Structure 1
C-alpha cells in the first residue's frame, strides 16, 4: 500500500511542479524511473503475496535507480548504450510482475465470488 501511495504522490508532484530535465540527462533519468517502477510493481506483487517488507522495497527502490543511472552513465562514457539493456531487463520485469499481480487479483476476486 505504501508503494501505491508513494507512486500517487510522485505523479501528483510531477504534474504540479514544472521541472525541466536537461536533454543530456534524460537517458539516465529514464532508466532510473524505469528501475523505480520495477520496484513499485515488485512491491505491489509482494503485498498481494503477503510478503512485503518496507526495508527491502526502499533499498531496492533507491538502489535500483542509482545502479541503473550509474550503469547508463558508464555505458555512455564507454560509448556503449548499456541503458538499452537496462530498459529491456526492467521492462521485462515490470511485465512479469504485472502478470503476477493480475493473476493474484483475479484469484482474489474469484475466491470472493465463490464465498471462500
Structure 2
C-alpha cells in the first residue's frame, strides 16, 4: 500500500512541479528508463517466485540505471555512443523479455 501511495504522490508532484531534465542528461534518459524497467521486471519475477528482497531491488534498480548511463556516457566520450546505446538496449531488452516470459509462466502456469 505504501508503494501505491508513493507512486500517486510522485505522479502528482511530477504533474504539479513539471520538472525539466538538463539538456546534457537527455540522451541518457531513454537508456536509464530501459534499465529501470529491467529492474522492475526482475523484481516482479522475484516477487512471484517468493524470492523478492527490497534491498536487492533498490541496489539493482540504482546500479542498473547508473551502469547503463555510464556505459553510454563512456561511449559518447570515445565516439561510439549510439553503438553502445544500441548494445545496452539489446542486452536489457533480452533480460526484460526473459523476465516477462518467467512472469507469464508463473502467472498462467504455462
Relative distance call for 1:51 and 1:64 in structure 2 (3 A) is same
1:15-67: CA deviation from partner (whole Å, max 9, x where unpaired): 55412224542221211111111001000000000111111111010011011
- With normalisation by structure 2, the TM-score equals 0.80
The answer for the alignment partner of 1:88 in structure 2 is: 90
CA RMSD of aligned residues (A): 2.7
Unaligned segments of structure 2, at least 5 residues:
none
For 1:1-116, list aligned pairs within 5 A. Answer: 5=4, 8-9=7-8, 12=11, 13-81=13-81, 82-107=84-109
Relative distance call for 1:48 and 1:10 in structure 2 (3 A) is farther
Stretches (4+) displaced over 3 A:
4-11, 13-17
Q: In 2, are the aligned partners of 1:27 and 1:83 still within 8 Å (CA)?
A: no
Count of equivalent residues: 107
Determine the C-alpha separation between the residues in 1 that align with 2:101 and 2:16: 31
Unaligned segments of structure 1, at least 5 residues:
111-116
